[in-house]
A and B are shown apart, each in its own frame.
Chain A
Amino acid sequence: MVFNDPVNLMSYVSYVFQTYFGYSEDKADALMLEVHENGRSVVATGGREAMERDTQAMHEYGLWAACQPDSGSD
């Protein structure tokens, strides 16, 4: 999950989504706008270890990200 942050540039967020997750430009831009407009977006889902690795990577890029267990499961 990535949160909106006034510091993070739209171009930079889209670049990170395209290069780190390998998303297309369209998908990356759509997720970036979702973060911007809704305040947050789930950009990836998966097992705990993979999600923690992704969160760590987002932190290295300086994006405000967190990972949380899906409600009702572990």
Chain B
Amino acid sequence: MAAIDARGDDVVLRLEDNERSLMLTVFTDLAALLSEDDGSEDGSRPDSENWDARLGLVGRPRPEDPALLRLLPDVDPEDEERSTEFRRLTEFDLKQAKAHNVRIVLLGLSKGNDITLTHDETLAWMKGLNDLRLVLAVRLGIDTEDAQDEKYARREELSESEDLTLTLYDFLTWIQDRLTTTLLTRKQGDDET
């Protein structure tokens, strides 16, 4: 079972072999989701060279995949025009920031089962874990608290793959919560001194 402890300014995460390999798989999938061709005219070019997109000169289509839309939401669901404009100006940066967090997670996972994270790396892990959980929740149909409660209540009726996804989701929830409370505890200590 994974363990998370504070060590000085760092956070140390210890994973089992199967936990680490599973996380490598699902975070690699998330990296792929965030790098998918967005359908714009310049989609064939890597994002780093896509100056028109970086500068907000070309429109970006609203994601059709609900999981991707959850990661890159509308700025004002009641104003389509404004949301389209905002997406053109900001979505590129948002997607890059999320992809960067995922890269930090994958880099940490590549180092072995004992992973030492700096404060900034811990924050990137928290954001990356949150994004991955958002995607899994969409795939599981957990969009409201009622839907979530029902999913757990009817656990025995779930297909094997759904049950495994829910187990993975719980595991990622635990890691994200432990990382967050570790930083919160440290912050309270800092605030008092």
User: Which residues from chain A sit less than 8 Å from chain B, CB to CB?
Assistant: 4, 6-9, 11-12, 14-15, 18-19, 25, 52, 55-56, 59-62, 64-68
Contact = CB atoms under 8 A, between A and B. Distances in A.
A55 B183 CA distance: 23
B55 interface: no
Which of the listed residues A12, A14, A18, A52 has the most CB atoms from chain B within 10 Å of its own CB?
A: A12
B72 A59 contact: yes
Interface string B107-147: 00000000000000000001100110110010000111101
Nearest to A18: B187
Chain B interface main SS type: helix
Interface residues of B, number: 39
B148 interface: yes
Contacts of B76: 66-68
A66 B74 contact: yes
9 contacts: A6-B137, A7-B134, A12-B180, A15-B184, A56-B93, A59-B73, A66-B75, A66-B77, A67-B75
